[in-house]
Amino acid sequence: MDRLLRSQYAEGSQADVNLERTARRDEDVNLEEEFATLESGLANLPIVERETLTLFYLRELSLEEIAGLASVPVGTVKSRLFRARQMLRRAMERR
C-alpha cells in the first residue's frame, strides 16, 4: 500500500490544464520584480531552510545527498524543505 501511494505521489496530477489561460497570466508577470521578490524571500529565510532549498533546487542534490551533507535523517530534510517552501510562499504572497 505504501509503495502505491508513493508511486501515485511521484507521478503527479493528471488534471487538465488550460495552457492558453496559463500563458496569458504569465504575460502579465514582471519577471524582474518576481526575481527580486524571490531573492528577498530567500535572503530572509533561516540559514538551515535556505541552505536546504539551495542544495535541493539549485544544486539538484537528492534528499539522501543533502541528509548526508547535513548529517541529519532524510525525514528532517523533507521537513526542512516543506517548511522552507511554506515560508518562501508566504513571503512572496505578502509582496
pLDDT by residue, tens only, the chain of 95 residues = 556 555 555 565 555 666 666 555 556 678 888 888 888 889 999 999 999 999 999 999 999 999 999 999 999 999 999 999 999 999 888 87
Sign, CA torsion 71/75/81/87: negative
CATH code of domain 35-95: 1.10.10.10
The pLDDT of residue 33 is: 84
List % helix, strand, coil for the chain (3-state, nearest 5): 75, 0, 25
Every domain of the chain and the residues it spans: 35-95
| Residue 63 contacts residue 74 (beta carbons within 8 Å) | yes
